[in-house]
Amino acid sequence: MPEILITLLTIGVVVAAIPGVCNYLILLERKLSAWMQDRIGPNRVGPMGLFQPLADGIKLLLKEEVVPPHVDKVLYLLAPALSVFTAMMAFAVVPFGPVDDSVPSFLRFIIAPNINIGLIFIFAITSLGVYGIVLGGWASNNKYSALGAMRASAQVVSYEIPLGMSVLGLALMSGTLNLEELMHQQTQGGIMSWNIWFQPLAAIMFFTASLAEANRLPFDLAECEQELIGGWHTEYSALKWALFFLGEYTHMITISFLTSILFLGGWNMPFIAEATSNYPGVWLVKLLVLFGKAFSFICLMIMLRWTIPRFRFDQLMELAWKVMIPLSLANLVMVMFCMQFGFNRWWLFVGSLGLFAAWGVISANLREAELAARPGYVKPKKKAPAVAHGHGHAAGHH
C-alpha cells in the first residue's frame, strides 16, 4: 500500500477514535469517582450505564448554541477549536503501538514516523494549547474567565520548564529525541533496561508536570469551580464546551502514552512481548501491552482527582520554581556526571533516591525557617511520652 494511503488511513482512524475514546474515559472517570466515594454512578442508560456517553453526546449536539452578546465572537469561537487542534497535533508523533517489523505492512501505529525531534515537537505544540484557554478567557469578557486564563498562562509557562528538563537526562542517556528510538532501546534490553530504573525521579517530575500542563487535579487552578465558577469556560456551553474537554482528555491520552514509552519500555513486557518474541499475532499483544500501560496511567490520573486536594496558587508556583526546577537541574547534572566518567547506570537509581531524600530534608528545614521568621511565631513544644499505667498483678496488689 502506498505510504500516503497508510498515512491517511492512520489519521482517519486516530481522528475518528479519539473522540469516542474520550467519551468513554469520561464514563470511566464517573464510574471510578463513584466507586471511590461509595456511590453507584451512571447506571441507567444501557447495561451498567455503558450507553451513557452516547446520551451525553446527543445532549451536547442538541443543546442550544448560546453565544453571549458581550463576547469577542471570533476569538470566542476560535478558542475551543485551538485547544482540540493542539492536542491532536501533539499526538501525531506518539507511537501508540509497536513500530517494528512484526507489524503488518498495511498497518502503522504512528501518524508521523521517524521524527528525530519528536519530544521537542510535542512540548512545542502542547505549549500552544494554553492559547486556547487564554483566548477563551479573554474573549468571554468575564472576570472569572479572565482570572482563569491568567492562572493557566502562569501555570503552563512555569511547568514547561521542569517538563522539558525532566527528559533531558533521557536524551543524554539515549542520544536521541526520537520516541520510536527511545522505545526501541528499552525493548531490546528487556525489563531491566526500562528508563524508570535509571530515572525514577525524572519519571515522577515528568508525570507531575504533565498533569499541570493538562490542567488536571490537583492542578486545575484555571477552572477551579469553587472560586471561579468554571474559570475560562464559564461562558461556554454545548459543543463548544465539549471541545475544551475533548482537548483535555486527548492530552491525558498523550501523557499516558508518553510516560509508558519514555519510562516503562513501551510495548515491552517479560515473557509475552519481548524483542525476541516471534509468534503469530505478536504485534497485537504488543499493542495491547502498550494500551494497558497507558490505561493504567489514565486510571491513576482519575484517582488522583479524588485523593489529593487542590493546591493553592502560591503552592502551585512554589512546587514548580522551588522544588521541581532545582530538582530537575540537579538530576540533569547527575546524569551528565555519570555519563562523562562512565559510571554504571545503576548509580543513577541511587543518585535519584539520594536527591529526592536530600531535597525533602532541605525543603523541611526551609519551611521551618520560613515559619520561624514570621512575627509572633511560637515553636510548638514536643509532647512528653505518655506513661502507661499497668493493671496487672503488680498494680493490683494492695
Tens-digit pLDDT string for the chain (398 aa): 678 898 899 999 999 999 999 999 999 999 999 999 999 989 999 998 999 999 998 998 888 888 888 888 899 999 999 989 999 999 999 999 998 888 888 888 999 898 999 999 999 898 888 888 888 888 888 888 888 888 888 888 899 999 999 999 999 999 999 999 999 999 988 899 999 999 999 999 999 999 988 888 888 888 777 777 777 888 888 888 888 889 889 999 999 999 999 999 999 999 898 988 888 889 999 999 999 999 999 999 999 988 988 888 888 898 999 899 999 999 999 999 999 998 999 999 999 999 999 888 888 888 788 778 878 777 777 666 666 555 555 444 54
Q: Which residues contact 83 (CB under 8 A, 6 or more apart)?
A: 129, 132, 133, 136, 243, 244, 246, 247, 248
Spans of all domains in the chain: 66-372
Cell of 180: 520510536
Residues 289/323, Cβ–Cβ less than 8 Å: no
| CA 43/CA 271 separation, integer angstroms | 38
H runs (alpha helix) in 229-345: 238-263, 282-305, 313-318, 325-340
Helix and strand tally (H, E) in the chain? 15, 0
Amino acid 389: pLDDT: 59
Report the predicted TM-score, pTM, of the whole model to 2 decimal places.
Answer: 0.89
Containing 3, the helix (H) or strand (E) segment is helix 3-36
Amino acid 390: pLDDT: 53
Amino acid 30: pLDDT: 93
Amino acid 277: pLDDT: 87
